[in-house]
Copies of this chain bind each other. A is one copy, B any other.
Amino acid sequence: MPYIYNTTQDVQDMLAAIGVESIEELLDMVPEDLRLGRPLDLPAAQGEMELEQTIRTIAGKNRHAGDTVSFLGGGSYDHFIPAVVDAVGSRGEFYTSYTPYQAEVAQGNLQAMFEYQTLITRMTGLEVSNSSLYDGATSAAEGVLMAIAATRRKGRVVVPASLHPEYRQTIETYVQCLGVEVVTIPAPAGVVDADELRTALDDQTACVVLQHPNFFGALEDTDSITRVTHDAGALLVGVFDPISLGLLKRPGDWNDGDGADIAVAEGQCLGSPMAYGGPYLGIMACREKLVRRMPGRIVGQTVDRRGTPCYTLTLQTREQHIRREKATSNVCSNQGLFALRATVYLSLLGPEGLKETATLCLQKSRYLADRLSESDRFELAFAPPTFKEFVFRDREGKVDTLVKQSLDAGFFAGVPLGQFYPDLDDCLLVCVTEKRTRAEMDAFVEVLEGTAKDAKDAKLVAAE
């Protein structure tokens, strides 16, 4: 047993000290009739070398962004991760410690979290950040719960159809048992219309959840929507793409600083691997006045008994381990390691690096969008300006074939939207990060157009 120290001698000595004959005797506490009378039905143990061979073989059955040029986005992004992020993230003192209950032996984690919170407030333009939640979707849902509690409005929550569908679904799950309705406003032009939104808001509307750039990559009219939302006495939960803030206004600055009351984001793009969707980083910031309703751990600065400045967990009376059923949330374990990674990532990028990254995403995605628009077969689905993602339509409606043939040619083509929006089943959501090169995009366009040429063959394949 590689991880167990006890030798046969140790076991004997320990049993003697306890005063029992055998380990089985210690397990007597489990009533005989509840015992599992057989070995578990699991594969046999493997040593490290065998395990590595097993795992490597399984990993080999996957294709990944390292061997396939990826144009996939939709909330998980292939941004570049500097080596320093891994070097820091793989420090045992960071990743094998836990929640800093003993501040004296956790100043490293506490300070890093405090720095993370500071970065998030500076990124969002809001006053307070917690030290992480699970992911973007659950952060959005927790933001909605905060809004419900803060406004004491339990009627409805309004979300545009341009919000990430999985975020919408998650919000639905979170509010359904509380009797709150989720009202979806269509976004046929790829963005929500502020006037249409207004009509959905009533005096029992707790909040609007606005994603900007939205799921389709498009920029929403943040100013009008902020105004309309606040006019209705509802709170605005802004969902942002951290990378976009290299160019775009911060959620707190929308509508001249009126802004989002709560801002949430998926922080995976800040130095964490895509890892088939998790673990990721739920970012949440809010206005000062909402802090006592905020879920999750918060680190505060204070002094110790000798007056030395230091850090500690604070406002713990919001939390489940103190307040139990009266807590603001049930969150316990969070995503500390990824908050750390984001902190390192942003430290390395700095303001200029973030701006340049955002600019490259913008320019490159626009290049691909322009190239695709030139084709007879493809068109952009929506008119509004986009940041790093956009939706294009295959006039021939052969999205599955495009995806399949792209894969064969070495590309992840994009996210087929039919799975989320039946009327967009001829559309793909395409993402271009700073990692993509012009050569890759040109080759991708050729593949897509090559598919066009082979449309007949493709059709045959599809018909089989």
Contacts and interface: CB of A to CB of B under 8 A. Distances in A.
A52 B86 CA distance: 14
A90 interface: yes
A49 B83 CA distance: 10
Contacts of A56: 66
The number of times this chain is found in the oligomer is: 2
Interface string A53-96: 00010000000001000000000000010110001001010000
A49 B92 contact: no
A154 interface: no
A172 interface: no
Contacts of A83: 48
A434 interface: yes
Contact of A90 (B52, B80, B90, B434): B90
Contact of A49 (B48, B52, B434): B434
Interface in A86-123: 87, 90, 92
Nearest to A88: B92
Contacts of A82: 48
A335 to B, nearest CB: 22
Contact of A48 (B52, B80, B90): B80
Contacts of A434: 49
A344 to B, nearest CB: 13
A87 B86 CA distance: 12
A435 interface: yes
Contacts of A52: 80
A190 to B, nearest CB: 30
A243 to B, nearest CB: 14
Interface in A391-430: none
A49 B48 CA distance: 32
Interface string A344-371: 0000000000000000000000000000
A96 to B, nearest CB: 11
Contacts of A87: 90, 92
A435 B49 contact: yes
Contacts of A92: 87
Nearest to A356: B47
Nearest to A51: B83
A65 to B, nearest CB: 12
Contacts of A49: 80, 434-435
Contacts of A80: 48-49, 52
A90 to B, nearest CB: 7
Interface string A161-185: 0000000000000000000000000
A177 B87 CA distance: 46
Interface in A291-318: none
A29 to B, nearest CB: 34
Contacts of A90: 87, 90
User: What 4 A-B pairs come out closest when comparing CB atoms?
Assistant: A49-B80, A48-B82, A49-B435, A48-B83
11 contacts: A48-B80, A48-B82, A48-B83, A49-B80, A49-B434, A49-B435, A52-B80, A56-B66, A87-B90, A87-B92, A90-B90
